[in-house]
Amino acid sequence: MSTLSDKRILLVIGGGIAAYKSLDLIRRLRERGAAVTPVMTAAAAEFVTPLAVGALAARRVYSDLFDREDEQDVGHIRLAREHDLVIVAPATADRMARLVTGLADDLAGAILLATRAPVLMAPAMNPAMWSHTATRRNHLQLIEDGVRFVGPGKGEMAEKGEAGTGRMAEPLGIVAEVEAILAPPARPLAGRSAIVTSGPTHEPIDPVRYIANRSSGRQGHAIAEALRDAGASVTLVSGPVSLPDPDGMVVRHVETAGQMLGAVEAALPADVAVFVAAVADWRVATESSRKIKKTGEGAPALALAENPDILATIGHHAERPGLVIGFAAETDDLLENARSKLARKGADAILANDVSPAGGVMGGADNTIRLVTAEGVEDWPTLAKSAAAKRLAAWIAARLGRKGSA
């Protein structure tokens, strides 16, 4: 059976050059079994024709809030209520702002206010518009209101010489997020146990200061939730993050790398361990019990000591899990460093991602992963971290299944 068989999806096509991608998105959704009802804004019709959209969807295209025939039965409410998911792609800065303020002066706006279904937005706009304070504020408010997002990604813009974050997610990336929202839950990891590390570690210098990494914990927490949803019994070992503890699992809170290693070892044995945490490589050799003060004589000398390598320790542990997965967060030589890490640390797989500041991965909502194993490299599209987590959970289930049948 197709992954989206019998699912009804309403697709709002916004007004932007990325509207051309909506044509491929319709095709990708339909080939997975979904029925797609298109709603075009007036601006969308400047970029793609209703004829092309309707032909690909094999359905009528809706656009007019005040259509006499449709509104005899309050058509915008009917459209809002008879679908399992509403996608807005492309979601322009204007459309995001309209939803935040509750405007419903066109068909798309009325549907978005009236629907009880999940809403998934795929933003697309010039990088300057995406980074504007108003758009960032609207993005955060919509997330708080329960709207899901996929993208935007980074790349060349339609405007000559423009590049940055603002490209609409590719259709396959949007489909992956749709499947994560709508696909029937499978529990292929039922009866399995998993350990996941997440977030940064804080290595104290004195009672006030510490050494840390720029990790929000979003990817690690999402992986823990995906493994739980797949049926695994999960222990999440979390460094200091601002995220709430996920339900349905054991959560161990730690501060330092040493504490994280201790919590991981205490959770053994396990079937799988996924090391997502951005562990500080170094700590101060001797923590000061008092705040270090400026003296006017220059910076104090801080002797550093190397932190334990949690991935390598568990990769070569007497109670090594059947599947050990690490992350390689790199700014240079991504695949070379990931392959080296795979061999040195006794891992079965390394998920390599570029954490250069321009990429926005650290603390961001999306991730672009290259899965490195002894068999080769598997490139994943840019995905929302929740969708990347579900994809990894499916990969883990398949890998453990092969091990179990070997």
Q: What is the pLDDT of residue 93?
A: 95
Report yes or no on 3 lying in a domain: no
- Residues of the chain scoring pLDDT < 70: 1, 67-76, 157-161, 184-186, 356-364, 402-406
Q: What is the pLDDT of residue 155?
A: 74
Measured between alpha carbons, how far is 372 from 392 in angstroms, rounded to an integer? 12
Q: Please, where are the H alpha helices in 42-126?
A: 50-57, 75-81, 93-101, 107-114
> What are the catalytic residues?
213
211 is in an annotated binding site: no
160 is in an annotated binding site: no
Are residues 245 and 366 part of one domain?
Answer: yes
* Domain boundary residue, one of 144, 163, 182: 182
Are residues 166 and 50 part of one domain?
Answer: yes
Quick check: pTM over 0.85?
no
Report yes or no on 219 lying in a domain: yes
Are residues 101 and 38 part of one domain?
Answer: yes
Report yes or no on 133 lying in a domain: yes
Are residues 204 and 109 part of one domain?
Answer: no
Measured between alpha carbons, how far is 58 from 301 in angstroms, rounded to an integer? 70
Q: Which two tokens stand for residue 257?
A: 């790398």
Q: What is the pLDDT of residue 323?
A: 97
Are residues 396 and 276 part of one domain?
Answer: yes
CATH of the domain at 380: 3.40.50.10300
Q: What is the pLDDT of residue 406?
A: 44
**What are the beta bridge partners of residue 253?**
238
Contacts 24+ apart (CB under 8 A), 143-146: 145/100, 146/118, 146/119
Q: What is the pLDDT of residue 405?
A: 46
**What are the beta bridge partners of residue 11?**
38, 87
* Domain boundary residue, one of 162, 182, 202: 182
154 is in an annotated binding site: no
Structural domain of residue 362, as residue ranges? 193-405
What Å distances lie between residue 43 and 13, 18, 121, 262, 353, CA to CA?
Answer: 9, 12, 17, 57, 36
Quick check: 125 and 151 in contact, CB under 8 A? no
Report yes or no on 187 lying in a domain: no
